[in-house]
Amino acid sequence: MNFRAFCSIIHRNICTFWNFARDVFYGPAYERSVRVTTAYLDNSATTKPCRQAVDAVVSALENEWGNPSSLHFSGLEASALLEKSRSAVASSLMCGSDEIYFTSGGTESNNLALYGAAAKMRRYGNRIVSTAVEHPSVYETLSALGKEGFEIVRLPVDGYGRVNENDLFDAVNSETILVTMMYVNNEVGTILPVKALRRAVTRAKAPALIHCDAVQAYGKLEVRPKSLGVDLMTVSSHKIHGPKGAGALYVSRDAALMPRVFGGEQEKKLRPGTQAMPAIAGFGAAAGELKDIKTNLERVTNLRDYMLAELERAGDIAVNSPPDALPYVTNISVLGVKSEPMLNYLSSKGICVSSGSACSKGKKSRVLTEMGLSRERAETPLRISFSRFTSKEEIDYLIEMISQGKKEIRNIR
Amino acid sequence: MKEVLLIKNGELALKGLNRRTFEDMLIKNMKHRLSSLGKFNFNVQQSTIIAEPEDEETDLDAAVEKVGKIFGIAAFSRAVACEKNFETILRKAAGYLEEDLECASTFKVEAKRSDKKFPLTSPEICNQAGGFLLERFPHLSVDVHNPDIVVNIEIRDTHAYIHGRQIKGAGGMPTGSAGRALLLISGGIDSPVAGYMMAKRGLSLSAVHFASPPYTGEKAEQKVHQLLSKVAAYSGRIGLWVVHFTEIQESIKDFCPEDIFTVIMRRMMMRVAQIIAARENAGALITGESVGQVASQTMPAIACTDKVCEIPVFRPLIGMDKDEVIDISRNKTDTFDLSILPYEDCCTVFTPKHPRTRPTLDYVERAEEAFDWKPMVEKAAETARLVVID
């Protein structure tokens, strides 16, 4: 035995002994009782991959690395994994496996849905109805469609980011070929009246397909395209503790789209190209973990209420999210402190929050402007977004650091 | 709110004294098919079967999808049961059908009163309910000829039922009421449709698939599994026998004239299938043949094939055009997209260049004598592998 091996054995023994002694003296919860000094509260930007997703990604790279379209056994293994992931995503949405198409993520799903529907439905009419507070991947796609000659109607919102249902009924006419609305706003958490889309379309006898960007709602609410009455729905893997690089588009059996890219027969020709198996496997595993949605929602609601009560007690806070918003996404303004210095300060203390959408960093928020917020509030927003793993300790730490930040940053000024 | 399914069993109502037997069979099938969703209680009132979930949380969307694929049901609807008090009925109707009424712009009310003790007559119910709903949903107007939605109010013995749209059922006869038959399935468009059509007439299905590795691959067999699971959504569980057919095919290729290869192959398939049918207690074979579609499906060729069959061979597609078959595979069985996946199947291996379209029985029988097929057929049937498809 050489010296190095000897040392490692001694080291291991000492570690085992130390762990044992620590458990005896402090109890096994030793590590958990340590005070938190970090808090990840930007779960609307992305989430930490869960254990199951990480394992699935690794396994897909090490074991089922075949091409799912190949005829040999290696391909069959990969295609079994692909279909397993597909059915996990399908059952989290309570729809059929054949209605799930894998893409590279939310942005691609939204582009495919909107462009694909517009190209397919062009001969039935010209109007597309949406809202003023959509995610850039919808907003910009619609702008591009507008340049191609479609008439884009963007419904205005009130001070809480809410859409008036009557405006929707007025906007949808018999020439409308597509209606798209996000389920939950990514910056302020407002829940939009997606269910009313079907009412508006049927009442107007419009040929329209209905699309819903459910990226922020997926995994946090019971999202069921069928009971919402939508034809197309976007979901993404990395917002539900899966890896980046995978997303899905739900396309109901009654709807048809034109593809945006062309190639092989993967994803029934709607989205050709060899599937990104590791990411998709991780997506499937993460989707399989979406249980107890109601209990998690209750817990996060309590956390959010606790946080807002504490912050308001400290003063100088305006809440930009409506009271009935999805509690997972909470937007506040720390009056008097601009977002960026506060963000940097919190970051230096180990806390991750954001000033708005991660997709348009730095710019002044379009959503908050549309909501008609005062200049002071629009310049000082903080988006605090929770996940089902967020703990009360993290919130306590955030509350403490925000009030500390308010003092320190003002001193600097 | 208690939601139930009201099920109308079309053709069964015409049956005579054994109508009860058919109804029981239908209920048994429904119980089995819905068992994965939870327990349902069934009771029969006049010609309607009422399926009531024991647990109110039961997923009725999924139940509707499943019931829509059960044979023996002409039409059904999702309804809410309520107490037979007119006030309650009105309130329930407005609440239960709110979503549909919000979507619609015209409506009408239809009432059915089988409990004649109920104080209001059917026209009175229609009138008053119509007035109530108009007040409640001011955007609506009444159209008795072509309404967007019909609000149905049924006053029955124990409860009143309110439902909107009636959903068309799968039709046909309860699966199992006509016995069992064995489906020969290749992986093409026709055979799943043939299986579906015979199951519709009340047959339970078993299936046999001929695999010829290495000429056909694992994906071809998987495709058959997937096709059958689509059919099984209608017919219930299917036992699939996978026969290793390579040896027989190679022998035919080696010893028989090329131009009648397919006819002889089909005769061999029928022989193997009959042995399996006897094992499965199946009273008939089912194939997806249609006259004149390919050389082995001309009338003389079918006559040669039929000669080896001692049990009836059902060919439900015999007089159908390809597009009629495709229509069913697209809209009913939902197998079209699977069927056209491009894998070699046993029928496309060794196909002759110039097959004989009018083979005579004499010629075929003489050609068959060229090799000792009997032990091969027996061996093929014996070594067949069973896969259960749900």
pLDDT in tens, B69-87: 999 999 999 999 999 899 9
pLDDT in tens, B293-346: 888 899 999 999 999 999 999 999 999 999 999 999 998 998 998 888 877 776
Q: What is the pLDDT of residue A362?
A: 57
Which has the closest alpha carbon to A315: A338, A333, A295, A297? A333
**Cβ separation B218–A268 shorter than 8 A:** no
The DSSP result for B131-158, as a single string, is HHHHHH-TT-EE-SSS-SEEEEEEE-SS
- Residue B352's pLDDT band, with cuts at 50, 70 and 90, is confident
Instruction: Name the CATH architecture for the domain at B179-389.
Output: 3-Layer(aba) Sandwich (3.40)
* CATH numeric code, B3-170: 3.30.2130.30
pLDDT in tens, A298-349: 999 999 999 999 999 988 899 999 999 999 999 999 988 888 889 999 999 9
Tokens 């349902």 correspond to: B40
Q: Which of B64, B100, B141, B219 is the mutation pick for testing A, counting most A CBs within 10 A?
A: B219
Tell me if B3-170 shares its fold with B179-389. Answer: no
β-sheet bridge partners, residue A232: A211, A251
Check pLDDT > 60 for residue A411: no
- Residues listed for chain B: 390
The kind and range of the H/E element at B211 are strand B204-211
The alpha carbon of residue B241 and the mean position of all alpha carbons in its chain are separated, in whole angstroms, by 20
Residues of B in contact with A227 (CB under 8 A): 61
Q: What is the pLDDT of residue A17?
A: 65
- Residue A30's pLDDT band, with cuts at 50, 70 and 90, is very low
| Summary mean pLDDT of chain A | 90
Question: CA of A79: which chain B residue's CA is closest?
Answer: B219
What is the average pLDDT across A108-135? 96
pLDDT in tens, B227-246: 999 999 999 999 999 999 99
Which has the closest alpha carbon to A377: A360, A364, A362, A363? A364
> Catalytic residues of A, which ones?
359
DSSP 8-state code for residue A214:
-
Does the CB of A269 have a partner CB in chain B at under 8 Å? no
Check pLDDT > 70 for residue B253: yes
pLDDT in tens, A350-362: 999 998 765 555 5
Task: Write out the two tokens for B237.
Answer: 């569980």
**Cβ separation B103–A203 shorter than 8 A:** yes
Q: What is the pLDDT of residue A33?
A: 47
* Annotated domain spans of chain B: 3-170, 179-389
A 140-169: CB under 8 A from B: none
Q: What is the pLDDT of residue A138?
A: 97
Does the CB of B218 have a partner CB in chain A at under 8 Å? yes
Query: What are the distances in angstroms from CA B129 to CA A100, A204, A230, B153?
Result: 42, 25, 30, 9
Q: Which of B58, B101, B103 is the mutation pick for testing A, counting most A CBs within 10 A?
A: B103
H helix runs in chain B, sequence order: 19-34, 60-67, 86-96, 98-103, 122-136, 190-200, 218-235, 246-255, 261-280, 299-306, 322-331, 336-339, 361-368, 373-382
Amino acid B369 reads E
DSSP 8-state code for residue B382:
H
pLDDT in tens, B285-304: 999 999 988 888 999 999 99
Residues of A in contact with B59 (CB under 8 A): 94
Amino acid A281 reads A
What is the average pLDDT across B263-284? 95
- How far off is chain A from B284, nearest CA to CA, in Å? 33
Does the CB of A84 have a partner CB in chain B at under 8 Å? no
Tell me the HSE value of B70 on the side-chain side, using a 13 A CA sphere: 27
Residues of A in contact with B105 (CB under 8 A): 203, 205
Which has the closest alpha carbon to B280: B211, B229, B207? B207
Check pLDDT > 80 for residue A144: yes
Check pLDDT > 50 for residue A367: yes
Each residue of B48-85: b (16+ CB within 10 Å) or e? bbbbbbeeeebebeebeeebebbbbbbebbbbbbbebe
Q: Is A294 exposed, middle or buried (0-12, 13-18, 19+ CB in 10 A)?
A: exposed
Amino acid A120 reads K
Check pLDDT > 70 for residue B107: yes
Question: CA of B343: which chain A residue's CA is closest?
Answer: A71
**Cβ separation A202–B61 shorter than 8 A:** no
**B2 or B232, higher pLDDT:** B232
Tokens 């996990």 correspond to: A88
Long-range contacts: B253-257, Cβ < 8 Å, 24+?
B253/B350, B254/B371, B255/B370, B255/B371, B256/B367, B256/B368, B256/B370, B256/B371, B257/B367
Residues of B in contact with A71 (CB under 8 A): 217-219, 343
CA distance A24 to B238: 59
Query: What are the distances in angstroms from CA B90 to CA A101, A401, B109, B124?
Result: 43, 57, 11, 13
ipTM over 0.85: no
**pTM, 2 dp:** 0.80
Does the CB of A76 have a partner CB in chain B at under 8 Å? yes
Residues of B in contact with A268 (CB under 8 A): 337
Does the CB of A61 have a partner CB in chain B at under 8 Å? no
Each residue of A329-341: b (16+ CB within 10 Å) or e? bbbbbbeebebeb
